[in-house]
Amino acid sequence: MLKSPMGGGGIRRRILDLLADHEGATAPAVARLLGIAPELARAHLGVLTAAGLLRAERSGGRTRYHRDEARIAEARDLFESGW
Assigned domain for 44 exists: yes
Q: So what's the pLDDT on residue 2? A: 40
Assigned domain for 6 exists: no
Q: Which CATH number characterizes residue 35's domain?
A: 1.10.10.10
Q: So what's the pLDDT on residue 65? A: 98
Q: What is the pLDDT of residues 37-54, one digit of tens each?
A: 999 999 999 999 999 999
How many domains, in total, are found in the chain?
1
**Segments of the chain with pLDDT less than 50:** 1-2
How many angstroms separate the CA atoms of 12 and 17, rounded? 9
